[in-house]
Chains A and B, each alone.
Chain A
Amino acid sequence: MLTSMTKTDFQKPKTVEEAVTLLKEAGDDARPISGGATLVALMNARLVQPSRLVSLSAIDELTQCTYQSDGSVRIGAMRRHRQTAFESNLKAAHQVVSGAASQIANPPVRNMGTIGGSISFADPAADYPPSLVAANAEIEIAGPEGRRRIPAEEFFLGWYETALEPGEIVTAVILPPVSESSVGQYEKLCRIAGDFALASVAVTIDFNASNTVTSLRLAVGGCGGGPIRVEAAEQALIGTKLELDAVVDAAELVVAELDPIDDVRGSAEYRLKVVPRLLQRAFNNLVETREPAQ
């Protein structure tokens, strides 16, 4: 039998406040559990043995995705990857997030994993982090002191570290309002279907009536401890019409900021070579999705 011999207790609270209290009570070795797709795998491998598991599955608030009156979208932490992939509230530039969700793992894992669990684990090669940085999302966090919100960029500290303090949980991801003319694109390269990214690129762009880029955000995944945003490249592309020369020059600025490692998925050198291709692919696909709309 593979049942564990350790004494873990299991709780399934109905509110965020209860969950936070249950985690605080049990101290350092208590863990929230969302989809379990990562945490149970780690427990099965004997890498983690929590003293208490606090399931977030029965907290209604966390399972909702709502379109707010100001045009922002609030994605509850317990939303599964499959729900976000097909989320009808996500339009225009927000599709960088649904695009990322649709490329995570494989269909059964997408039925399990949640956005809150994914960003809290913060795998350097995970798909949501770069998409949330490109979307300029905010992360809502609940803890013993109440709730706070921080920009996605400040949430991911690198190599599995996040801005979560002990006892805090992610409650939602908030995407800011976007204009109808904006677009978002997520491109991922992986060895085989369903694997983590070898490298990925997330972009959101807005254009004016004459197709000139008026705003742009860009982040790379799988090439460092967390998502890497390259503001110099963003600035270089604003005011252009994404001409090939401009994209090639911007890609150079991006590559200069990357910090990849060699691992089973590929060498650092290879990653530096594929990121410019992924960027080009992202821009090509963006332009294509935009054209029929015009």
Chain B
Amino acid sequence: MSQPVTLTVNGKTSDVSCGATTTLLTVLRDTLALTGSKRGCNQGVCGACTVLVDGAPMRSCLTLAANIEGQNITTIEGLPEGGDLKPIQQAIIDSDAVQCGFCTSGMILTAHEFLQRNSNPSIDEIRTALSGNICRCSGYRKIVDAVALAASRGGA
């Protein structure tokens, strides 16, 4: 049963038609062609699909599109402002914290929200904040370094 759903993604409102059980991740990737959010496990475990809903990181694979009408969704595509990368994005590049890149968008969005709440985090706090995002390539070290670098540059 398809129904019309109005979603606000990266500041833009779109009308999509989807089933009651269609997840936000499916709509983002298959309907809106925003493929920066990745489908890893589809079970909420890996974090590759993480997006911001009203500013808070959530799993788009566990979010029903029909259930978040009227809320503001930010994906990795919508993070840069006016074409400028956010400090955490620049820090990820500068720290060489990307290998295959599958986990990267989820890592960045989670870290971005974390740095807005905690501008001077300890390494332990960074690790805890990112504990719900799995990276199967790196040893996490460069990712953690990148978050610390962004913090030291005073940005999120």
List chain A positions with a Cβ less than 8 A from chain B.
Answer: 1-4, 6-10, 12, 33, 35-37, 40-41, 43-45, 49-50, 53, 55, 57, 82, 105-109, 111-112, 193-194
Could you give 22 example pairs across A and B, Cβ below 8 Å?
A2-B26, A3-B22, A6-B21, A8-B21, A10-B67, A33-B64, A36-B63, A36-B64, A37-B62, A44-B42, A44-B62, A55-B64, A55-B66, A57-B67, A107-B57, A107-B128, A107-B131, A108-B110, A109-B44, A109-B59, A112-B63, A194-B132
Q: Which residues of chain A are within 8 angstroms of B47 by Cβ–Cβ distance?
A: 106, 108
Listed from nearest, the 7 A-B pairs whose CB atoms lie closest are A106-B132, A10-B20, A193-B131, A8-B20, A108-B57, A4-B21, A40-B62
Is B57 a contact of A40 with CB atoms below 8 Å? no
CA distance in complex: A111, B44 (Å): 12
Is B26 a contact of A10 with CB atoms below 8 Å? no
Q: Which residues of chain A are within 8 angstroms of B30 by Cβ–Cβ distance?
A: 1
Is A106 a contact of B23 with CB atoms below 8 Å? no
- Of chain A, the residue at the smallest CB distance from B114 is A107
- Of chain A, the residue at the smallest CB distance from B71 is A57
Is B57 a contact of A193 with CB atoms below 8 Å? no
Q: Which residues of chain B are within 8 angstroms of A49 by Cβ–Cβ distance?
A: 21
Is B44 a contact of A55 with CB atoms below 8 Å? no
- Of chain B, the residue at the smallest CB distance from A36 is B62
Within the complex, the shortest CB–CB distance from A110 to chain B, in Å, comes to 9
Is B62 a contact of A112 with CB atoms below 8 Å? yes
- Of chain B, the residue at the smallest CB distance from A82 is B56
Is B44 a contact of A37 with CB atoms below 8 Å? yes
Most chain B beta-carbon contacts within 10 A, residue among A4, A37, A55, A111: A111
Known: A4-B22, A6-B21, A40-B61. 7 other contacts (CB 8 A): A2-B42, A3-B22, A4-B21, A8-B20, A9-B20, A41-B62, A106-B131
Q: Which residues of chain A are within 8 angstroms of B20 by Cβ–Cβ distance?
A: 8-10, 53
Q: Which residues of chain A are within 8 angstroms of B105 by Cβ–Cβ distance?
A: none
List chain B positions with a Cβ less than 8 A from chain A.
Answer: 1, 3, 18-23, 26, 30, 42-44, 47, 50, 53, 56-59, 61-64, 66-67, 110, 114, 128-129, 131-133
CA distance in complex: A35, B26 (Å): 18
Most chain A beta-carbon contacts within 10 A, residue among B3, B23, B110: B23
Given contacts A9-B1, A12-B67, A112-B59, contact A44 B43 (CB under 8 A): yes
Most chain B beta-carbon contacts within 10 A, residue among A2, A43, A45, A53: A2
Is A193 a contact of B67 with CB atoms below 8 Å? no
Within the complex, the shortest CB–CB distance from A42 to chain B, in Å, comes to 9
Q: Which residues of chain A are within 8 angstroms of B58 by Cβ–Cβ distance?
A: 108, 111-112
Q: Which residues of chain B are within 8 angstroms of A82 by Cβ–Cβ distance?
A: 56
Is A1 a contact of B132 with CB atoms below 8 Å? no
Is A40 a contact of B132 with CB atoms below 8 Å? no
Q: Which residues of chain B are within 8 angstroms of A35 by Cβ–Cβ distance?
A: 62
Is B1 a contact of A108 with CB atoms below 8 Å? no
Most chain B beta-carbon contacts within 10 A, residue among A3, A12, A105: A3
Is B43 a contact of A41 with CB atoms below 8 Å? yes
Is B64 a contact of A10 with CB atoms below 8 Å? yes
Within the complex, the shortest CB–CB distance from B33 to chain A, in Å, comes to 13
Given contacts A40-B64, A41-B43, A108-B59, contact A193 B128 (CB under 8 A): yes
- Of chain A, the residue at the smallest CB distance from B131 is A193
- Of chain A, the residue at the smallest CB distance from B113 is A107
Is A8 a contact of B19 with CB atoms below 8 Å? yes
Is B131 a contact of A194 with CB atoms below 8 Å? yes
Most chain B beta-carbon contacts within 10 A, residue among A10, A50, A53, A193: A10
